[in-house]
Amino acid sequence: MSNNKIIDLGSSEDPLVLDCGKSIGPIKTAFTTYGELNETKSNAILVCHALTGDQYVASEHPITKKDGWWSLLIGPEKSIDTNKYFVICPNVIGGCMGSTGPNEINPKTGKEYGLDFPVVTIGDMVKAQKLLIDSFGIEKLFSVIGGSMGGMLVLEWLSKFPSYVFSAIPIATTTNHSAQNIALNELARQAIMADPEWKSGNYNIENTKPVKGLSVARMAAHISYLSEQSLHEKFGRNLQNKNKIEFSFDADFQVESYLRHQGFKFVDRFDANSYLYITRAMDYFDLKAENNGSLIEAFKNTNAHILCASFTSDWLYPTSENKVIIKAFNALGLNVSFVEIETDNGHDSFLLDEPEFFQTIKGFLDATYKKL
């Protein structure tokens, strides 16, 4: 059973102070819970979503009507067993599914924030998540779990609020973006802002929508989530519903049609300005720079049980970057495990049906729960 809620956190008198120096308050956080919190409040698992994810982690999405993005992993008798654990998944601030973000109303003006919304960071997102966890009276999370940007949020929890985390599972992630990562995000942002319907971020006020720009942004990002092998196996150079090329700029190839479909179905559920803000937060994330150039300094106060997972075909956040995290944890003598899953599914592997990955998550959580 799931519960979907939106609550106000903080206040105008006690606002959330952001890393950019500005403050917002109160803030809204939209979240979904699964399972029941036990009497000692020791069975809570915080699930952190990736860039284009949201709080509907294991329940039907209200817009797409599709199953939650981790429905294969979370639920009764599944790897994250909701008969046993209390799962909380919030939409990050800056998001577009009910949490305070650029498409929400600014209480000071009564108008939509748009680009007046302050730039937020991964750290700000975690501070907002902590307010939510505090509202439950939870003093220590049994686990914090997330992949990709969600993994960044996990690492931020370990760094900034280590006493709150008993165990953690950062998946297919990094401690900072490479120049290539930043370049890909900038390509996506420029695609959105180049769309004349973007209207300098005021498209909702002017009753337009940068559909084409946001679609292209999604197409570019989606390529980075796949591997060359998976694209080759799925599409190769196969033509789309035709026997020969047409010497035009229509979608001759199946892969072109696939990307266009991915782009245009994305615009129905995601806000263009949120895409700008969240990708910016990811680009700014740099745990090493924030801690005098030392990841050991970043994690010096954590004592959590940790499982790190990566995937062989992930070129966006490759195993080598995950091993940098492992090296820091090992240097601190932490209880850490690492698994690299063999797969051709690329970065998106953590969202797909990967039985070895699911079994690893279940085994780690079951073994760690016994140590409470």
Whether 250 is catalytic: no
Nearest to 11 by CA among 123, 135, 125: 135
Q: Which one is catalytic: 148, 215, 313, 349?
A: 148
- Strands 23-24 and 16-17 come out as antiparallel
Q: Please, are residues 151 and 158 in contact by the beta-carbon 8 Å criterion?
A: no
Query: 124 to each of 55, 121, 130, 160, 320, how far by Cα in Å?
Result: 17, 5, 10, 11, 27
d(CA 242, CA 262): 21
**DSSP-based three-state secondary structure for 260:** helix
DSSP code of 267? T
Q: Which one is catalytic: 54, 347, 348, 349?
A: 347
Whether 347 is catalytic: yes
Q: Which one is catalytic: 124, 283, 314, 348?
A: 314
- Percent helix, strand and coil across the chain, each to the nearest 5: 40, 20, 45
CA 150-93-200 angle, to 5 degrees, is: 110
d(CA 140, CA 41): 8
CB atoms within 10 A of CB 43: 20
Q: Please, are residues 186 and 245 in contact by the beta-carbon 8 Å criterion?
A: no
Cα dihedral 338/341/345/350 (nearest 10) = -50
Whether 148 is catalytic: yes
> Which pair of tokens denotes residue 371?
């140590």
d(CA 241, CA 252): 8
Q: Which residues are catalytic?
A: 148, 314, 347
